[in-house]
Amino acid sequence: MAENKALFLDRDGTLIRDAHYLKDPKKVEIIQGISEALHEARHLGYLLFMHTNQSGIARGYYDWSDVHACNKKMFQDFGWPKDFFTEICIAPEEPTATEGYRKPSPKFEFEMIEKFELNPRKCWVVGDKWIDPQTGLKASMRGALVKTGKPITIEMQKQAASEEVPIYENIAEFAKKEILLHV
């Protein structure tokens, strides 16, 4: 039986401050205090994945090189090595797309479950929008919301409560409560 565990993390609003259609690396602003938590999760055996929707590519607002430049700046600012994430999924599809990797599609999560023999019950999808935990739930994983990005509405709070999706201030608090306390 698969025993590997993982965290699937959103980028904008979760790892870095949300900037509308981010294309300029100079506008990348990391969220302080989460790098240490992610290093600890890796130390505890969690594989780390980044899954980010980037519809600005399909909409023609920016291109792949802009996304890669912003990711590179994020890695530099956090001081992460190039291989910090086991894999990265950049979903370029527009919100109306029905095929592809755009969250809430769990296509990427299902592929990683198979490729890395992940136990979905030991995996989380974490982000600032409902589509993040929703993606995890569709892949039989757990989901969590963080308050570092888009505002969490009352409707989202109700949905989260009904689906047993916890809400945390940030990734550091999530890791402290869900990862470090369950070692």
Is there a catalytic annotation at residue 24? no
Is there a catalytic annotation at residue 128? no
Confidence (pTM): 0.96
- Say how many domains are in the chain: 1
In which domain, by residue range, is 160 found? 4-182
Which residue among the candidates 10, 66, 128, 132 is catalytic per the annotation?
10
Of 103, 137, 105, residue with least CA distance to 11: 103
Tell me the pLDDT of the chain (183 aa) as tens digits.
568 999 999 999 999 999 989 999 999 999 999 999 999 999 999 999 999 999 999 999 999 999 999 999 999 999 999 999 999 999 999 999 889 999 999 999 999 999 999 999 999 999 999 999 999 999 999 999 999 999 999 999 999 999 999 999 999 999 999 987 665
- Distance CA(113)–CA(106), nearest Å, equals 10
Which residue among the candidates 12, 66, 128, 132 is catalytic per the annotation?
12
Read off the CATH number of the domain in which 122 is found.
3.40.50.1000
